Structure 1
């Protein structure tokens, strides 16, 4: 094998794992924010519990989402070095966006950043025909490619809002007239619900990098077909877990304290809602944004109880960040590609 191709393949694999690490510390806040805000656990307790179940998620969650993401772009007909360079630049764009939004404390979507980074650089470097858009198939009732990703990313926060709204209404009715000491039990239950949310997050988010890493192995000629190896699953699981352990404390403040005043019942309902929506999506191979689902569930819960108490201004800021993430990450990946090309 050509030494340049080997170095490029190894470098791209390393970048995939770095992206998964940034995904972990960027999204850690999504899982631990409500736990900390409701004082169910200390930050150390929450991170350790979440990290353990986050690690199990990719190992036991299957590869349906990995297959969806790994087949989002088709670069088989290109020169291998060019194809790997394109993937590498797409990942760098996604990482740069993750770091920027983490630094600013904005709970944006790592999933949107990944899709935007890859699609943007592929369109500029190889042409739009190399992106599996899936819109033509959508007319025939088939959901795949970018259409499947966009559908999942758009519908999941809507579902999260509605489920959170209905669940919280139901929970308030069930708890009506109970003694305030019930909050202690609600805090204890969060050990279970936060574990479930961590598992579902790992099962969905780590698979995105698993899909890209397997694609890199195919493009580099290391494996003949798209079939996710176990070491890829294990590597991505470790990378996202290490990211979770690093934490994303700026975003904790946004999700845990800036949208709605979180009490134990709100935290429990948000965790149940998000875990259910994310895990269901994973079973169907649909990549979703944990950030979107958790934030929208908190909004739905607040709206079901006291709509005027929801800080809709902060919610609007989050929605704005969602809308600009795909083009923002795409622009960063394109700039990276043009910079690389200027040195070749």
Structure 2
């Protein structure tokens, strides 16, 4: 929603409500990413002390997400939860607990997706510039794009739900397996609905701090920029969702804006803000893994071997 708010295509209240609704719809559409999270990082059926591992992972991911949210830094919740699960599993059973083929596939998707989003955003905006280069009435053109941006922002929010909400579904399914409530990695309907509702509510309650950073501290976004960034980000995220790969929606959306901004005017991008984001992205996985490992050891000291 950051791009549509910064261009005044939507008011903050309407943007956040639209994001909440469309994220809910997206979360109810597919479950491929959830299945990947539940089985490709570690084997939930053989995971030692699975209940403690999952609890430690959740504590670590939530802690890191709240810290970065408080400071308005668009960190990756995907990196946080994936790093946290890996860190807690390693603490419980050593490095052999990881499914290296699946884990590396996920890491590759997390690395490639923002690079792809930057490149696609750069090219897509270059095409738009070429089409409208002779347009004399820039104000009228931007007003038209501002209306289109309401649709593209909704598309972006929908794609967000198809990927981000799935990660919570995967973690809950792992918890159900670890505690013997299910013997399948298929996502239960009540899990899908509860995660979709939580995604919508979380977006409605806590989105404003990140909107201010993404919408105003990377570049000055015009409606035409916003449309290009929205379509780029949504396309990359949806593509990943439909092949079952978790990606960082934060990385993808921000990289889309950076790609569009670089194509528009390289000096118009606030690279200092971008640098802070990139540093946060790189440190998120190891920090969340470390917090999860520490959390696991503390929980194990308190509760011993369970689940």
Q: Give TM-score scaled by structure 1 length.
A: 0.85
SS at match of 2:89: helix
Structure 2 match to 1:110: 77
**Contact kept? 2:47, 2:89, Cα under 8 Å:** no
Q: Would you say 1:100 and 2:60 are equivalent positions?
A: no
Cα distance in structure 2, aligned partners of 1:239 and 1:253: 22
**Contact kept? 1:278, 1:290, Cα under 8 Å:** yes
Cα distance in structure 2, aligned partners of 1:38 and 1:264: 6
Cα distance in structure 2, aligned partners of 1:161 and 1:211: 28
Please give the residue correspondences for 1:255-334 in structure 2 after superposition, counting only pairs within 5 Å. Answer: 255-334=214-293
Structure 1 match to 2:38: 70
**In the superposition, relative to structure 1, how do residues 224 and 75 fare at CA in structure 2: closer, same or farther (>3 Å)?**
closer
Cα distance in structure 1, aligned partners of 2:224 and 2:46: 54
Structure 1 match to 2:191: 232
Ranges in structure 2 where 5+ consecutive residues have no aligned partner? none
Cα distance in structure 2, aligned partners of 1:33 and 1:320: 21
CA shift for structure 1 position 334: 1.6
Aligned length, in residue pairs: 300
Residues 24-68 of structure 1 deviation map (CA, whole Å, 9 limit, x = unaligned) = xxxxxxxx11111111110011111111111111211x2211111
**In the superposition, relative to structure 1, how do residues 78 and 282 fare at CA in structure 2: closer, same or farther (>3 Å)?**
closer
Structure 2 match to 1:46: 15
Structure 2 match to 1:156: 113
Moved more, 237-246 or 326-335: 326-335
Cα distance in structure 2, aligned partners of 1:319 and 1:261: 19
Cα distance in structure 2, aligned partners of 1:225 and 1:75: 10
Structure 1 match to 2:55: 88
Q: Give TM-score scaled by structure 2 length.
A: 0.95
SS at match of 2:85: helix
SS at match of 1:39: coil
CA shift for structure 1 position 75: 4.1
CA shift for structure 1 position 220: 1.2
Moved more, 146-155 or 170-179: 170-179
Cα distance in structure 1, aligned partners of 2:296 and 2:257: 38
Cα distance in structure 2, aligned partners of 1:53 and 1:249: 17
CA shift for structure 1 position 238: 0.5
Cα distance in structure 1, aligned partners of 2:208 and 2:28: 26
SS at match of 2:210: helix
CA shift for structure 1 position 343: 2.4
CA shift for structure 1 position 78: 4.8
SS at match of 1:181: helix
CA shift for structure 1 position 224: 2.1
